[in-house]
A = this chain, B = another copy of it.
């Protein structure tokens, strides 16, 4: 590895990150109508640790998510801005799924010595554009050299009032199951890419630039609606299983109620396609659930049962719905 080049990469990445860190000292965020001090960034990139001062009387949420070249993205398919955007979106979506407010992000980034300055700059730009949209400063991280493609790990820290985080484990028999938005769009694009299609990112925003459901998650939590919640990262079938496992319950959903992108012929994408970053939540039958929340459609898919089985009702037949998101779509 020619060292000047290696140094250069570190420098590019550090510079891009440093700008952001210095901008976010004592950040004031405006969110959902009220302005409050989410976090004072006391030391950012350039010290051993980031130092944050957070408002007291909040529970802290933390999530970490890998974005690995060849596993979660391909450089020949995904523009660098999309890779950066998706990297942060994964973390933000986990905060949304707890009903939390994201306050800071941290990025570990390993780059091959052959990385171009241009690629890294565009990656960081994509990540920072999303970070700005949600007022989540990039507050620290690590830079390393990679022997094998671009490797990123995003950490997002969020806040939630004490005891109010919406867990996966709260679903009870009789609860209704809901989903936000439409499903399958990301997998549909992905399937096109796999088949060699050239896709324009602007035509497939759900895949290239998904929007984490931060506001919807927070509003649902504030209204006290969900008994359990999860984001769809692995696919509806798999993520619904996660709720059932953690809650010790079963579920029954109806194929004709699933909001499928492009209609019924795409049902398998909606059932098993991952990375939709919509929210699945459950709520007691007595709770009023609006049809839209901050502009996002909310659809009732079925109900939680007392069995340990997850099933799909289609054309009048009920059959076991396997957790199959992983097999079909996890590996690009």
A residues near B, CB below 8 A?
1, 3, 42-43, 46-54, 56-57, 59-66, 68-72, 94-95, 97-98, 100, 104, 106-108, 110, 139-142, 144-149, 151, 153, 155, 157-158, 160, 162-163, 165, 167-169, 229-231, 246, 326-327, 331
Q: What are 9 A-B contacts with C-beta separation under 8 Å?
A: A47-B169, A49-B61, A53-B60, A64-B153, A66-B153, A71-B147, A106-B155, A148-B148, A148-B149
**A61 touching B57 in the complex, CB below 8 Å, given contacts A66-B142, A68-B147, A168-B46:** no
Residues of B within 8 A of A54 (CB): 60
Whether B59 pairs with A42 at a CB distance below 8 angstroms is: yes
Residues of B within 8 A of A230 (CB): 48
Separation of A60 and B110 alpha carbons in the complex (Å): 25
Residues of B within 8 A of A153 (CB): 64, 66, 108, 142, 153
Nearest Cβ on chain B to A304's Cβ, whole angstroms: 17
Whether A64 pairs with B95 at a CB distance below 8 angstroms is: no
Residues of B within 8 A of A63 (CB): 48-50, 140, 142
Residues of B within 8 A of A160 (CB): 51
State which of B98, B108, B168 has its C-beta within 8 Å of the C-beta of A66: B108
Whether A62 pairs with B3 at a CB distance below 8 angstroms is: no
Whether A108 pairs with B64 at a CB distance below 8 angstroms is: yes
Whether A51 pairs with B144 at a CB distance below 8 angstroms is: no
Whether A49 pairs with B98 at a CB distance below 8 angstroms is: yes
Whether A49 pairs with B68 at a CB distance below 8 angstroms is: no
Whether B64 pairs with A60 at a CB distance below 8 angstroms is: no
Whether B57 pairs with A51 at a CB distance below 8 angstroms is: no
**A108 touching B65 in the complex, CB below 8 Å, given contacts A144-B71, A148-B147:** yes
Whether A231 pairs with B155 at a CB distance below 8 angstroms is: no
**A62 touching B155 in the complex, CB below 8 Å, given contacts A165-B42, A167-B47:** yes
Give the interface centre of A46, A63, A64 by most chain B CB atoms within 10 Å: A64
**A62 touching B50 in the complex, CB below 8 Å, given contacts A1-B331, A71-B145:** yes
**A155 touching B64 in the complex, CB below 8 Å, given contacts A47-B167, A71-B144:** yes
Separation of A197 and B84 alpha carbons in the complex (Å): 42
Nearest Cβ on chain B to A103's Cβ, whole angstroms: 10
Nearest Cβ on chain B to A21's Cβ, whole angstroms: 13
**A64 touching B144 in the complex, CB below 8 Å, given contacts A3-B327, A108-B153, A158-B49:** no
Whether A59 pairs with B53 at a CB distance below 8 angstroms is: yes
Residues of B within 8 A of A142 (CB): 63-66, 153
Question: Can you name the residue of chain B whose Cβ is closest to the Cβ of A94?
Answer: B48
Separation of A229 and B48 alpha carbons in the complex (Å): 9
Whether B140 pairs with A68 at a CB distance below 8 angstroms is: no
Having A42-B163, A66-B108, one finds 7 other A-B pairs with CB under 8 Å, namely A46-B168, A51-B59, A51-B98, A62-B140, A66-B142, A68-B110, A71-B147
Question: Can you name the residue of chain B whose Cβ is closest to the Cβ of A147?
Answer: B70
Separation of A60 and B59 alpha carbons in the complex (Å): 13
